[in-house]
Chain A
Amino acid sequence: MQEYAEFLMAYGPRFADGAVVTLQQAGLGTLLAVVVALTTGFMKISPILPVRWLGIAYIEVFRGTSLLVQLYWIFFVLPLFGLTLGKFTAGFLALGLNLGAYGAELVRGGVQSVPRGQYEAAIALGMGPFKRMRRIIFPQALLNMLPPWGNLLIELLKSTALVALISVSDLMFESKQINMTTFQSAQAFGTALIIYYVMARCIITPGMRWLERRLALKLSRG
């Protein structure tokens, strides 16, 4: 116990630095994932066929290959096409593009889960397609898809660990470095495991619960 306290005293700040980078990656990745999910999710249910195909192609390609492969492709192969990205940018870009494809399915499922009668009522009230989606369908869809989005965000947080492999100095990277200098693997990796767990349980889960409650209240179902 004494030893572990000393270990934490010595390396705590580095864990903290890593955790901040992890949170930055997760935050930026989430923003991008939400944008990608909304765009491609709506593309997939678009009545215009080519748009729909494009959406489906995007979703299948990004869901069908590994995030790690996509990350390496963006970081090592894109420069060959003249597009060189910093490792930090490449990191959250891969995260957002990949998890966004998973999110697109949630958007599609959420929109399609809104009962048919809601569409008909909106049409009967003379609402155009955009107003219908914005005022009637999407708010209800959002409430339905929030719980699975909570799971997806935990997936995203976990996936940030992969950016360590292109040497973004996140929590995973720091714990690997600490392990290499101290050979105290249980302490180095164990501490990182606990920090990730606390982030998921104490930030994402309560955050999503709060969002759900807010939204349910706004739709006066609370």
Chain B
Amino acid sequence: MFDWKWDFTIQILPRLLEATLNTLMAAGFGYLIALVVGLFFALAQRTPFRLLTVMVREFVEMIRSTPLILQIFFVFYVGPQFGVRLSPWTAGMTAIGLHYAAYLSEVYRAGLDSVPKGQWEACIALNLSVPRTYFKIIIPQAIPNIIPGLGNYLVGIFKDSPMLSVIGVTELFHVATAIGAETYRFLEPYTLVGAIFLAISLPAAMSIRRFEDWVRASLGMKKLYTKD
């Protein structure tokens, strides 16, 4: 019943590890897009232009409440219909980047909103310019509240990257499926994929907590997880 084959495991491991690099690259690159675009989404919702604010808000809500996998298909297949042909990588990065940008914009928004109103009022009273208000006063105080959210979504984007396999991005899950199809053995490839994911996401989550504490400590705040 239980027939785990070690020689087969060793044989497929290099291919899976190579694909893991692709997964990490996809997650990292998608995350970079999300960090930047998410900031624009968040700031656009703070402008006084009512129409822009409402449109961005609705767009973010729409992205957040529909499945990522559907969005990946949408970006990949709708382009060619209008004459724009995207490679799986481009389409995948666009879709996953935009999806997480919507989530990160909420993190930014909550972080900025968490700074007490008095801080804003003090900036106005001291006649600080808008950039100075943001960069010197508000953002430094918002950062400790933003980091846990940013960290969670970094792990999240990594765990969602297998979805890119459906449009043929050759990441870990795609390679495991290919191995399964070639050899008719699914036990080892899929179990290894699970193990690799666990081996990366658990330490990642842990180091994010450490990083969070490090930031809090360097801003003179109380540490939450680690002791000195």
**Nearest-CB distance from A91 to chain B (Å)?**
14
Residue from the list B64, B71, B159, B191 in contact with A73, Cβ < 8 A: B191
- Interfacial residues, chain B to chain A (CB-CB below 8 A): 1-3, 61-62, 64-71, 73-74, 77-78, 80-82, 159-163, 166, 173, 177, 180, 186-187, 190-191, 193-194, 197-198, 201-202, 205
Q: Compute how far the CA of A177 lies from the CA of B62 in the bound complex, rounded to whole angstroms.
A: 23
Task: Looking at the assembled complex, report how far the CB atom of A205 sits from the nearest CB atom of chain B, in whole angstroms.
Answer: 9
In whole angstroms, how far apart are the Cα atoms of A185 and B1 in the complex?
44
- Whether B69 lies near A64 (C-beta < 8 A) is no
Residue A66 is within 8 A (CB to CB) of chain B in the complex: yes
Q: Out of A77, A175, A185, A197, which one reaches B187, CB within 8 Å?
A: A77
Q: Is the Cβ of B198 less than 8 Å from the Cβ of A189?
A: no
**Cβ B66 vs Cβ A193 within 8 A:** yes
Residue of B nearest to A164 (CB): B69
**Cβ of B20 to closest chain A Cβ, rounded Å:** 13
Q: From B161, B186, B202, give the contact of A77 (CB < 8 A).
A: B186
Contacts of B1 in A (CB 8 A): 80-82
Q: Is A60 an interface residue (CB 8 A)?
A: yes
Asked if B160 contacts A196 (CB within 8 A), the reply is: no
Q: Is A183 positioned at the interface, with any CB of B under 8 Å from its CB? A: yes
* B197 pairs with A69, CB closer than 8 A: yes
| Contact between chains at A159 and B67 (CB < 8 Å) | yes
Complex contact A64–B190 (CB within 8 A): no
- Contacts A77-B187, A161-B70 given; indicate if A65 touches B65 (C-beta within 8 A): no
Q: How far is the CB of A177 from chain B (nearest CB, A)?
A: 12
A214 to B194, alpha carbons, bound, how many Å?
Answer: 41
Residues of chain B with a CB closer than 8 A to A208's CB: none
Residues in chain A near residue B187, CB distance under 8 A: 77, 80
* CA distance in complex: A68, B64 (Å): 19
Distance to closest chain A CB from B129 (angstroms): 37
Contact yes or no, B69 A162, CB < 8 A: yes
Q: A197, B186: Cβ atoms under 8 Å? A: no
List, in ascending order, chain A residues with CB within 8 A of B61's CB.
201
Across-interface contacts of A107 in B (CB, < 8 A): none
Closest to B68 in A: A158
**How many Å lie between the Cα of A189 and that of B67 in the bound state?**
11
17 contacts between A and B (CB under 8 A): A65-B159, A65-B198, A66-B162, A69-B162, A69-B197, A70-B194, A72-B190, A76-B180, A77-B191, A158-B65, A158-B68, A186-B74, A189-B74, A189-B77, A193-B66, A197-B65, A200-B66
Assembled-state Cα–Cα distance A193/B64 (Å): 11
**Nearest Cβ on chain A to B143's Cβ, whole angstroms:** 23
A204 to B213, CA, bound (A): 36
Residue ID in chain A nearest B166 by CB atoms: A165
Q: How far is the CA of A213 from the CA of B43 in the complex (A)?
A: 33
Asked if residues B194 and A69 are in contact (CB atoms below 8 Å), the reply is: yes
Least distance between B136 CB and chain A CB atoms (Å):
33
B66 contact from A68, A176, A197, Cβ within 8 A: A197
A172 interface hit (Cβ, 8 Å):
yes
Looking at the assembled complex, report how far the CB atom of A29 sits from the nearest CB atom of chain B, in whole angstroms. 13
Are B65 and A201 in contact, CB atoms less than 8 angstroms apart?
yes
User: How far does the alpha carbon of A68 sit from the alpha carbon of B1 in the complex, in Å?
Assistant: 24
Minimum-distance CB pairs A-B, first 4:
A161-B67, A185-B77, A200-B65, A76-B186
In Å, the complex CA distance between A201 and B68 comes to 17
Q: Which residues of A contact B80 (CB under 8 A)?
A: 185
Is A77's CB under 8 angstroms from B66's CB?
no
B163 to chain A, nearest CB (A): 6
A73-B190 contact in complex given A82-B1, A189-B78, C-beta closer than 8 Å: yes
Task: Assess whether A190 is interfacial by the CB under 8 Å rule.
Answer: yes
